[in-house]
Structure 1
């Protein structure tokens, strides 16, 4: 099974490379600039055609949520038009496409986990362009799976878990937002789930479950609860205690609005693919342990 992934340095892509290693049935190839440029449709088409993939994982995106507010045209070119170009090129190559999307396509309202067919209503440039990208992918390739995820962290790159551990080295008290709720999601779990899905698509030529799914860590919490759990795990590994104070979103303003409710209902994914993402606390503990034992990541 030849899998082509757009992107090379993101958390999910690096996790995919790691999780696919040692699986001889998987040939995984990553493409990033200059080989492929999502702002150049011809570049996308030629790169995917040359790779001859069985499955394309559309992971590359513009993800700087606050900066996106200042350059909407570039964000739209990458997250909307670029995503559509990847899906079309995959279709032209006879390949399915697995496209990664986000909780930011929702408005953040409500007090229950969002289901796939709930009203979206994004309020940021990032969220709006990711939703446009979903529509473009669906229109360009009937063999598409759109996987919305949320609050992604990993041993790689920049993310919330690594930031908190870094701050905890020099601070004994932090103030963290407590009125934004979501599913912390390990990129390793996302990678495992994607590879499971890819295997299903490759083995089941009659698969009829194409469409949109939510893929996120089991259970939910708020940012301050997530932080306390990170520090509690770090304490078991010898780190000093850090107190966490709850604050409302109003006391931590950002250029782009953060959804108050980012919780995603993952029942559909579990039912169709027979795969349940581990509880967020379990996966978080593994990542924190790995980071403290191998801090060079």
Structure 2
């Protein structure tokens, strides 16, 4: 079984490389931007023609939420055109496409966990391009899994956990917003779920499992709570101050509540999902 992974140098791509040795039955092909530019349909076709993947995990994305506000064309090229190109070549080669999306497709005005069928309403360029990428895939190729996730961190790449640990080595006091609620997601847990979906082998054209799914770790917290737990686990003593979002203005508006309901993915793939705290402790 050949599984092609785009964006292999990012957090999720590195997490998939980390767990790949545990799955000898899968022939992983890892591609970063140097050998696969998803914004080029020709490049996508060449790679797919060479490897003829059974599955493609699209871990490539423009994820700089604030920068997207000033680089909308670049975000659109990667998150929309790139997704559409992969859907088109996946259709041509009968490849099942697993695409990663985000809680940012929602506006955050809900007070209960978001369901897959809730109406998206992104508030910024990043969320809008991710939503448009979802739609492009849905219009082109039915054999897809779109996985919406949130607050991704890991021992790899750049993320909130690593930023907090770096700041703690430089400062005595850190201020973190406490009025944005969501769920941290360990990228390694997300990687494991993607492999589980693949090994369930939903290549049969009669399957009704294709579509949109939510995945994050279990539970919910604020960014302040997340930071507090990071320092606690790493035995770091620091003056951590909770602040409102209004005290930390950013170019892109963040959803104030973006907890995702995972009932659908748990039922479809018989999953048991770790709490965010337990998962965070696993990469101490």
Interval of TM-score (by shorter of Structure 1 and Structure 2):
over 0.9
For 1:43, the equivalent position in structure 2 comes to 43
- Within 2, Cα distance between the matches of 1:202 and 1:130? 24
Rate the CA distance shift 1:203–1:192 in 2: closer, same or farther, 3 A. Answer: same
**1:285 and 2:281 aligned:** yes
Contact 2:96 2:203 (C-alpha < 8 Å) held by counterparts? no
For 2:212, the equivalent position in structure 1 comes to 212
Q: Which runs of 5+ in 1 are unaligned?
A: 290-297
Counterpart selection for 1:251 from 247, 253, 271: 247
Contact 1:201 1:207 (C-alpha < 8 Å) held by counterparts? no
For 1:271, the equivalent position in structure 2 comes to 267
Deviations 1:127-182 (A, max 9, x none): 00000000011111111000000000000111100111111223332211000010
1:120 alignment partner, SS class: coil
Rate the CA distance shift 1:68–1:282 in 2: closer, same or farther, 3 A. Answer: same
Deviations 1:176-232 (A, max 9, x none): 100001010000000010000010126867532100000101001000011111111
- Within 1, Cα distance between the matches of 2:104 and 2:210? 21
- List 4+ stretches of structure 1 deviating above 6 A: none
For 1:84, the equivalent position in structure 2 comes to 84
- Within 2, Cα distance between the matches of 1:118 and 1:168? 38
* Correspondence list, 1:135-150, <5 A: 135-150=135-150
Contact 2:38 2:78 (C-alpha < 8 Å) held by counterparts? yes
**1:101 and 2:101 aligned:** yes
- Within 1, Cα distance between the matches of 2:38 and 2:167? 35
Q: CA deviation at 1:44?
A: 1.5
1:21 alignment partner, SS class: helix
Deviations 1:95-121 (A, max 9, x none): 100000001111111111111011111
For 2:20, the equivalent position in structure 1 comes to 20
Rate the CA distance shift 1:34–1:170 in 2: closer, same or farther, 3 A. Answer: closer
For 1:201, the equivalent position in structure 2 comes to 201
Q: CA deviation at 1:22?
A: 3.5
For 1:61, the equivalent position in structure 2 comes to 61
For 2:227, the equivalent position in structure 1 comes to 227
TM-score of the two chains, using structure 1 as the length reference = 0.92
- Within 1, Cα distance between the matches of 2:74 and 2:171? 37
Q: Which runs of 5+ in 2 are unaligned?
A: none
1:101 alignment partner, SS class: strand
- Within 2, Cα distance between the matches of 1:5 and 1:138? 20
Contact 2:202 2:209 (C-alpha < 8 Å) held by counterparts? no
RMSD (CA atoms)? 1.4
For 1:114, the equivalent position in structure 2 comes to 114
Q: CA deviation at 1:30?
A: 1.2
1:262 alignment partner, SS class: coil
2:3 alignment partner, SS class: strand
- Within 2, Cα distance between the matches of 1:19 and 1:58? 17
- Within 2, Cα distance between the matches of 1:92 and 1:55? 13
For 1:295, the equivalent position in structure 2 comes to none
- Within 2, Cα distance between the matches of 1:18 and 1:246? 34
Aligned length, in residue pairs: 284
